């Protein structure tokens, strides 16, 4: 048997083979998936430190935020589609297609000649990124039994944290030393290497089945999510819900309600609504949305705090975010191994949401002169909370659903987490901006006009944004107790599995996990 060809595999209840891989084979597969995941998650943050230079070069500072928003819109809206399509046509080829789409968007973004072109090409990038982030995690569910999944998916949690910290650092380096265009060009060699690696190491058997793509449902969810996020973005920029924001959000909500109605009747729904009767599926998606709101929303402002208030360069601000990465690294890997050893996960979700709430509360106490070691400690606590439970939500959902819904289940967790992040970034950004504006006159009257008053107002607004995020973090902690513990299934040793043990790998019925 070659190094990349799985051994003879048992059959699951759906009549599909359950491949069995050795640890070495899994690590090779994980290396290919990690490249794709890194590409998608890195481009959420790497562009942030280049935006000022980009908007100055194109003389369109008014379109500054849309370079990020366009990427976020298409990556969020396309996530459920990738899950459904990959369930029907096979994950390997769809994953490779998403890399190609992402690389095309990257190359075109680097070649952009004006801001409108860049925004459009960033949307193409996001379209590919939606598949990268969803399918990498779904493929892990295809090749690794739930009991063993924790030890491997913990590494993905590290990649997410790594990209959130290193992205601004790398972006700042390219802006300082070369050109902002290299923020996009750097994806090309990495993506091409990932394509070659995945083609060589990933061997997934997929039995094609007759199915129809739900075009009406696809149009509704893409249109609804896009319009809703555009409205939220406009409201966030204005620090209030303007008539223009309403004009986008109301039709978006109507389309999403229409999507729910349509999905209850569609023959091949993108997100089968009956899955929400599964308590594990429902609770994990709600937790994903709330935690995404808290983390992606609130922590978006910390690098800006370092650069605006503490006066450090974009590169140094990236270094100062490393304690958060350290926290994620420690708990993500350790919790993943513990989950694999114990076969249980709920305690890590409860503990992780509790620690995250504590971290958010601590961050609300930041001042203009908080010591570097204290800030590092705060970020480390937040990272610990993130690492403890984020990847476990996906494991819990994959474990609770049969293989037929593996892609849909994985995509749903990613979708709701990303959607929460988009909403959180806009809403908490509006909170920051509104409180900054309200407090600035008072600080100016007390300290006089200048940078000191402006910095004090910014920190006041940022603290308020963390305070608004705190109830959401506490709510996530309370909801974590509703998560039903379903013992993780195991297929025995990874390298080979006796036929008598294969029934445990095929999936569990929905009735067995509905609480």
Q: Is residue 132 part of a domain?
A: yes
Does residue 222 share a domain with residue 355?
A: no
- Domain span including residue 239: 214-267
pTM, rounded to two decimals: 0.73
Q: Is residue 17 part of a domain?
A: no
Does residue 259 share a domain with residue 111?
A: no
Does residue 272 share a domain with residue 257?
A: no
Does residue 262 share a domain with residue 137?
A: no
Q: Is residue 4 part of a domain?
A: no
Does residue 408 share a domain with residue 508?
A: yes
Does residue 251 share a domain with residue 283?
A: no
Q: Which of 251, 267, 283 is the last residue of a domain?
A: 267
pLDDT band at 506 (very low <50, low <70, confident <90, very high): very low
Tens of pLDDT, residue by residue over 158-185, are: 677 677 667 777 777 787 778 888 888 9
The mean pLDDT of 198-214, rounded to a whole number, is 64
Looking at per-residue pLDDT, the higher value among 465 and 85 belongs to 465
Q: Which of 267, 287, 308 is the last residue of a domain?
A: 267
The mean pLDDT of 225-254, rounded to a whole number, is 82
Which of 201-215, 267-281, 358-372 is predicted with the least confidence, judged by mean pLDDT? 201-215
Does residue 218 share a domain with residue 164?
A: no
Does residue 295 share a domain with residue 153?
A: yes
Beta carbons of 439 and 462 less than 8 angstroms apart = no
Query: Residue 471's pLDDT is what?
Result: 92
Does residue 253 share a domain with residue 309?
A: no
Q: Is residue 209 part of a domain?
A: no
Angle at 164 between CA 163 and CA 166, to 5 degrees: 60
How many structural domains does the chain have? 2
Does residue 263 share a domain with residue 283?
A: no
Q: Is residue 67 part of a domain?
A: yes
Closest CA to 127 of 248, 50, 225, 18: 225
Does residue 287 share a domain with residue 232?
A: no
Residue 77: C-alpha distances to residues 30, 160, 266 (Å)? 26, 19, 19
Does residue 462 share a domain with residue 409?
A: yes
C-alpha to C-alpha distance for 100 and 119, rounded to whole angstroms: 19
């Amino acid at each position: 048997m070659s190094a990349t060809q799985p051994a003879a595999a048992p059959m699951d209840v759906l009549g599909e083979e359950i491949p069995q891989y050795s640890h070495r084979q899994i690590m090779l597969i994980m290396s290919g998936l990690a490249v794709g995941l890194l590409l998608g998650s890195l481009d959420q943050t790497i562009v942030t430190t280049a935006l000022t230079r980009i908007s100055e070069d194109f003389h369109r500072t008014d379109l500054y935020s849309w370079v990020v928003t366009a990427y976020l819109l298409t990556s969020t809206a396309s996530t459920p589609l990738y899950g459904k399509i990959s369930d029907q046509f096979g994950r390997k080829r769809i994953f490779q297609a998403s890399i190609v789409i992402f690389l095309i968007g990257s190359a075109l973004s680097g070649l952009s000649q004006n801001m409108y072109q860049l925004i459009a090409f960033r949307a193409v990038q996001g379209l590919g990124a939606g598949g990268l982030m969803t399918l990498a995690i779904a493929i892990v569910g295809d090749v690794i039994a739930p009991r063993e999944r924790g030890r491997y998916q913990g590494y993905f949690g590290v990649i997410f944290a790594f990209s959130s910290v290193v992205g601004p650092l790398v972006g700042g380096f390219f802006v300082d030393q070369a050109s902002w265009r290299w923020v996009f060009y750097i994806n090309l060699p990495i993506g091409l290497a990932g394509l070659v690696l995945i083609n060589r190491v990933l061997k997934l058997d997929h039995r094609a089945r007759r199915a129809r793509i739900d075009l009406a449902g696809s149009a509704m969810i893409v249109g609804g999510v896009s319009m809703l996020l555009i409205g939220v973005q406009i409201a966030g920029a204005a620090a209030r819900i303007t008539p223009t924001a309403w004009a986008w959000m109301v039709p978006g909500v109507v389309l999403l309600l229409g999507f729910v109605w349509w999905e209850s009747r569609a023959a091949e729904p993108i997100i089968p609504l009956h899955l929400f009767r599964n308590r594990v599926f429902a609770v994990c998606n709600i937790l994903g949305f709330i935690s995404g709101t808290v983390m992606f929303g609130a922590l978006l402002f910390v690098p800006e705090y370092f650069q605006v208030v503490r006066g450090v360069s974009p590169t140094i601000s990236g270094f100062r975010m490393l304690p958060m990465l350290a926290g994620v690294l420690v708990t993500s890997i350790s919790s993943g191994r513990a989950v694999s050893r114990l076969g249980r996960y709920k305690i890590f979700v409860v503990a992780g949401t509790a620690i995250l709430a504590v971290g958010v509360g601590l961050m609300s106490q930041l001042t203009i002169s908080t010591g570097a070691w204290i800030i590092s400690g705060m970020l480390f606590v937040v990272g610990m909370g993130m690492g403890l439970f984020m990847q476990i939500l996906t494991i819990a959902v994959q474990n609770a659903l049969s293989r037929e819904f593996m892609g849909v289940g994985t995509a749903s967790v990613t979708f709701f987490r990303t959607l929460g992040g988009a909403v959180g970034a806009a809403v908490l950004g509006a909170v920051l901006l509104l409180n900054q504006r309200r407090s600035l006159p008072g600080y100016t009257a007390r300290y006089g006009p200048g940078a000191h008053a402006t910095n004090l107002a910014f920190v006041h607004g940022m603290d308020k944004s963390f305070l608004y995020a705190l109830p959401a973090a506490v709510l996530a902690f309370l909801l974590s107790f509703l998560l039903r513990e379903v013992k993780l299934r195991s297929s025995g040793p990874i390298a080979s599995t006796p036929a008598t043990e294969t029934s445990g790998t095929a999936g569990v019925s929905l009735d067995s996990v509905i609480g």
